[in-house]
Amino acid sequence: MKYELTEETQTVNGTTLYRIRALRSFGDVKAGDLGGWIGSERNLSQNGDAWVSGNAQVFGNAWVFNNARVSGDAQVSGDARVTGDARVTGNAQVTGNAWVTGNARVSGNARVNRSFDYLLIGPIGSRESFTTFYRTENGISVSCGYFCGTLDEFAAKVDETHGDNKHGKAYKAAIEFVKQVMNPAEGGSHGTH
C-alpha cells in the first residue's frame, strides 16, 4: 500500500472525504507526507505514482491512476478519470464522464464535464503542433496556431493555405473525424468548457 486514509475528514456535498497520508516514498512524495482529500480508496490507485495533494478533492466514482496528479484546489468527481501523466491543478473541475489522459494539463478555473467537449489532435500540420477543437454555444470552434474560429472557417483556411498537399489532407481528415465524434446533433451543444 502506498497511502492510507487518515482520521481527518471534511464533508463536501454530503460526502465525507478523508485526508490521505503516504505510507512509502514514490515519485516526489515522501513517506509520511499528507495529501489531499478522497472519498474512499476507489478514488486513488494504490499503484503507480498517482497522487492527490494540497486541498484537492476526488470523490464519487472518480478515479485517479497511473502517474496522474490532482493538486491545488482542484476537484475531480462524478465518473471522471484522470490517468497517464495528466495533471489537474488550480481551481479546475473535472466532472461527469470526462477523461483527462496522456500529458493533458487542466488548470486554472477550467471546467471539463465531458470528454468530447474538447478534442486535441497533433502533432499535425506544417508546424507539427497541436490543434484544439471545442464546443461552443454555436457549434464547434478551432484553435490552431494564430487561427481561432469556427470549424467551417478553419476548413476554408486549410484549403486556402494548404490545398491538397500532405498537411491539407491531414487537417481535412482531422476535420472529418471531429465532425463524427463531436457532432452537435448527436451530443448536443454544451457551451465552452
pLDDT, tens digit (0-9, with 9 covering 90-100), for 141-163: 787 878 878 899 999 999 999 99
3-113: CATH architecture: 3 Solenoid (2.160)
Bridge partners (DSSP) of residue 144 are 147
**Greatest CA separation found in the chain?**
63
Task: Tell me the pLDDT band of 108, cut-offs 50, 70 and 90.
Answer: low
**pLDDT of the residue at 74:** 96
Check whether 50 has a pLDDT greater than 50.
yes
At which residue does the C-alpha cell 476537484 appear?
Answer: 75
Phi, psi of 13 (to 5 degrees): 50, 40
CATH 2.160.10 residue ranges for the chain: 3-113
**pLDDT of the residue at 115:** 61
Q: Is the pTM of this model over 0.85?
A: no
**pLDDT of the residue at 112:** 72
Measure the CA–CA gap between 78 and 22, rounded to whole angstroms: 25
CA neighbor of 60 nearest in space, from 72, 42, 48, 45: 42
Task: Tell me the pLDDT band of 184, cut-offs 50, 70 and 90.
Answer: low
* pLDDT tens digits along 52-80: 999 999 999 999 999 999 999 999 999 99
